[in-house]
Amino acid sequence: MYSLILRERSGSLTGSLWNRIVTRNMGGGPRTFPGGLNKWQWKRMHEKKAREKENKLLDQEKQLYEARIRTEIRAKMWGNQDSGEKTAKSKQSHGPMSPKEHIKTLADRFIKAGAEDLWNEDDGPIKKSEEEGSSRLSRRDNGGTGSNSIDSNFNSPIDVRKFVSMGSNSSRRGFSSTSRGRFKRNESSCDEGDDFDAKKLDTLSPFSPKFAGTKEKVKSSRSVEGVIRNKGLFGRRKFRKNDSSTEEDSDEEGEEGKMIGWMDLRKTGSSASLGNHDVKLTKRVNRNVTDEELYPPLDINTVREDLSKRRSVDNVMEENREPHDSIYSGKRFDESSISPLTLKALSASGIFNMTRVQYATLSECLDAGKDALVKAKTGTGKSMAFLLPAIETVLKAMNNGKSVHKVPPIFALILCPTRELASQIAAEGKALLKYHDGIGVQTLTGGTRFKLDQQRLESEPCQILIATPGRLLDHIENKSGLTSRLMALKLFIVDEADLLLDLGFRRDVEKIIDCLPRQRQSLLFSATIPKEVRRVSQLVLKRDHSYIDTIGLGCVETHDKVKQSVIVAPHESHFHLVPHLLKEHISYTSDYKIIVFCSTGMVTSLMYTLLREMKLNVREIHARKAQLHRTRVSDEFKESNRLILVTSDVSARGMNYPDVTLVIQVGIPSDREQYIHRLGRTGREGKGGEGLLLIAPWERYFLDELRDLPLERIPVPDLDSRVKHQVDQSMAKIDTSIKEAAYHAWLGYYNSVRETGRDKTTLAELANRFCHSIGLEKPPALFRRTAVKMGLKGITGIPIRK
């Protein structure tokens, strides 16, 4: 446990130090986790953490709601108090926004993931102009009854203290400040009750005489400012004006330490806006490392650097002789420095020309050995773009130090999100290594037996390891001997980097990185790289990494040759429309190959059962299926056509099913990126294809996220009455348990979607409509615990199991 805390705090311990700590703490048998926990305790601990996180989110929503109400009440109070001239003044005090607008902006910003990072000095329900701030301040903070004398005098620390003691009636907690001006909750003063003791504050805070004078004085006044804000007394703008000198400002932006102080100020400042209801208070206080410290925001220099790097890649691209929309670069592999045996394998597979991403990556990463973040459209050969440098790295490392390693080293590690993708990359790697004796590629993924993995890794050559994060971490933490083999790592690759660096996987990836040597080359690949990923990419990459973007500024991430359409139709009709659309496509495409994406595994299962009942040639893949089934179906779908694959998002990323003619997405995907990756299963290797998004009218808001994509809205097709009848008949035959599971999964998915999950009553209504559309008379009951967890307890239309 200690090791965990230590690692959390330090952010990035070196691999060896981490190993030492883990080794020391693992103590017992080989299947013991850090802190002496067994597998189940470890699992339970993580489940508990996940539950806590979920509760926090619910809490956050509740707090937002309360904050809104409070703001509205305050705004009303202002409106009632003042009339005429005063009202004008009060309006002025809100700045350019009306209270309503402000609430809306606040809400819009607050609901965004990572919104806490968006708070700035303009936040706070009621803003004051700098000149009139003090009088307004006291009125507001004392609920309209407070004393004005405080306002006129609060420049000196002593007066601030007075203010604290007077204004602390609402406060129940004490705080002490550290010498750096940070705040720590002072547990001993927690019971102080309504009478906040100013003398006590004297001894606790930097206001005691020994702090007076010089710069410390400034710090101390800043500290009390923090105390006051923590108590929700007033906003920060006022204090910045009265309390800060130019010297302070420059201090804050000067050294790193001062910067931290500044960030603390900001945090407490924002909490003043929401009083004790600001989640950031609980979230941020007591944290040593903030997100901003870990992932510094992009600054102008980074942007400039990016642009210059982009230009250099563009120059490289300009040399090629291919038309602009071609995926090929016009360069041949035999013009590059890759080894003759790899070239031989490439030509054996009929591959001679480099795609754009391969050319750009090889010139930047193979020759210059630089770290890189690489963005290229789906199906343009990114896997080969990282496999080739991996093979070259292994060859070089093997030539350099044959006898140095005590254990067989792993020189290249490739992380990817799913088992199927790992197998696919491994197959491609094996084909490229066809003529290289003694070099092996292996996979480490879930769904196989841990012991068997271990034996396989020990008995067969493995210089290139392709793994999913969870299983790799399992091996690392269970001392399967992998950690020492990874000490020789030279190249670390993350495929689908935006997904793996997203919150769901990031902690695992961080833990893995902690076990890797710092001296290594790292490459990140994806077809979509949102801004946040640019920021967190520094977790993996060196500062001077290259950013290779073969898509180009202002160009969309989807292929021109893929026709994209959207149908907006009532949700009740989706299960009728899908078979209709499939039959239509099949009627004009002799060699059809279709993928239907559904929102969850259980909805996938229901859709598959329906289509099977309708005698369509269909297969299913989702996480609830056994690995053997998943592999078999995936292989079958790769090799055949005239087949429909119904799947969840396990097939959305990286899967290379050749010649897919149509991709249908039923319901909104989790985000814009997922839409692009799902669509990317068609139109691969520069070929054409079709994509169709089927959404309900209330899901239309999602189209905003896709507004830059060439998506054509098409009318709802007239349903063939025969198909409709067939669907109804087939649906009636499906087992109720499958439908109930689909209903629960549907509810869970849309509850997790921010836009639909916020209004639980509407969500319940929509879920009921879905329920009827699949032939269930009434919605199946939820377990009480599940309902509580989902925030659905007590919501009309959501029955709870007795």
Ligand X SMILES: Nc1ncnc2c1ncn2[C@@H]1O[C@H](COP(=O)(O)OP(=O)(O)OP(=O)(O)O)[C@@H](O)[C@H]1O
Enumerate binding residues for ligand X (CB under 6 A). 351, 353-355, 358, 376, 378-384, 527, 654, 656, 680, 684-685
Q: Are 580 and 409 in contact (CB under 8 A)?
A: no
DSSP H or E run through 183: strand 183-185
Q: How far is the CB of 543 from ligand X (least distance, A)?
A: 26
Nearer to ligand X, 294 or 351 (CB): 351
Distance CA 461, CA 449 (A): 19
**Minimum gap (Å) between residue 380 Cβ and ligand X:** 5
CB of 498 to ligand X, least distance (A): 11
- Minimum CB distance to ligand X, residue 325 (Å): 16
Please tell me the distance from the alpha carbon of residue 760 to that of residue 711, in angstroms, as a whole number: 30
Say if residues 598 and 695 touch (Cβ distance below 8 Å): no
* C-alpha angle 690-529-677 in degrees, rounded to nearest 5: 25
Nearer to ligand X, 94 or 375 (CB): 375
Q: Which is nearer to ligand X, 460 or 636 (CB)?
A: 636
> In the complex with ligand X, which residue's Cβ is closer, 354 or 462?
354
CA distance 727 to 725: 5
Residue 328 CB, shortest distance to ligand X, in Å, is: 7
Compare residues 116 and 498 and give the one whose CB is closer to ligand X.
498
Dist CA 277 CA 256 (whole Å): 29
Q: Which is nearer to ligand X, 444 or 527 (CB)?
A: 527
Q: Which is nearer to ligand X, 354 or 581 (CB)?
A: 354
Write the DSSP assignment of 428-468 as a string of letters: HHHHHTTT-TT--EEEE-TTS-HHHHHHHHHHS--SEEEE-
Beta pairing partners, 690:
563, 662
**Min separation Cβ 512 and ligand X, Å:** 20
User: Which C-beta is closer to ligand X: that of 327 or that of 611?
Assistant: 327
Bridge partners (DSSP) listed for residue 332: 353
Q: Residues 352, 359: contact at Cβ < 8 Å?
A: no
Q: Considering beta carbons, is residue 226 or 680 the nearer one to ligand X?
A: 680
CB of 392 to ligand X, least distance (A): 16
Cα dihedral sign for 734, 736, 738, 744? positive
Please state, in angstroms and rounded to a whole number, the distance separating the CA atoms of residues 426 and 443. Answer: 7
Distances (CA, A) of 235 to 133, 203, 239, 527: 10, 26, 8, 43
Helices 469-477 and 450-459 pack at an angle, to 10 degrees, of 80
State how far the Cα of 139 lies from the Cα of 132, in Å rounded to an integer.
Answer: 12
Q: What are the residues facing 567 on neighbouring strands? A: 694
Give the residue with the Cβ less far from ligand X, 358 or 730: 358
Residue 555 beta carbon to ligand X: minimum distance, rounded to whole angstroms = 16
Question: In Å, what is the CA distance from 591 to each residue of 586, 608, 619, 658, 680?
Answer: 8, 20, 16, 12, 19
In whole angstroms, how close is the CB of 326 to ligand X at the nearest point? 11
Query: Nearest distance from residue 486's CB to ligand X, in Å?
Result: 24
- Write down the least CB distance from residue 677 to ligand X, Å: 7
Residue placing its CB nearer to ligand X in the complex, 221 or 383: 383
Contact 127, 237 (CB under 8 A): yes
Distance in angstroms (rounded) separating the CA atoms of residues 521 and 47: 34
Taking the complex as a whole, the smallest distance from the CB of residue 351 to ligand X amounts, in Å, to 4
Residue nearest to ligand X (CB): 381
Nearer to ligand X, 351 or 568 (CB): 351
CB of 742 to ligand X, least distance (A): 28
594/741 with CB nearer ligand X: 594
Q: Of the candidates 703, 377, 706, which has an alpha carbon nearest to the alpha carbon of residue 561? A: 377
Radius of gyration of the chain (CA): 30
3-state secondary structure of 24: helix
Q: Of 383 and 605, which has the nearer Cβ to ligand X?
A: 383
Identify whether the C-beta of residue 358 lies closer than 8 Å to the C-beta of residue 384.
Answer: yes
User: Computed from CA positions of residues 563, 569, 574, 580, in that sequence, does the dihedral angle turn out positive or negative?
Assistant: negative
Q: Which is nearer to ligand X, 34 or 417 (CB)?
A: 417
What CA–CA distances, in Å, run from 258 to 9, 254, 620? 19, 7, 56
d(Cα 409, Cα 394) in Å, to the nearest integer?
Answer: 10
In the complex with ligand X, the residue whose CB is nearer, 572 or 636, is 636
CB of 424 to ligand X, least distance (A): 7
Burial of 671 (0-12, 13-18, 19+ CB in 10 A): middle
The CA distance from 91 to 606, in Å, is: 56
Task: Indicate the residue among 559 and 744 with the shorter CB distance to ligand X.
Answer: 559
Q: Which residues of 170-194 are buried (b: 16+ CB within 10 A; e: fewer)?
A: ebebbbbbeeebbbeebeebeebee
Which C-beta is closer to ligand X: that of 334 or that of 572? 334
Q: Closest distance between ligand X and the C-beta of residue 688, in Å?
A: 15
Contact partners, residue 476, CB within 8 Å, separation at least 6? 482, 483, 486, 511, 512, 515
| Distance in Å, CB of 384 to ligand X, minimum | 4
Question: Where is 664: in which H helix or E strand?
Answer: strand 662-666
Nearest approach, Cβ of residue 652 and ligand X (Å): 9
**DSSP conformation class of 367:** I
Query: Closest approach of Cβ 303 to ligand X, in Å?
Result: 25
- Do residues 475 and 454 lie in contact, with contact meaning Cβ atoms separated by under 8 Å? yes
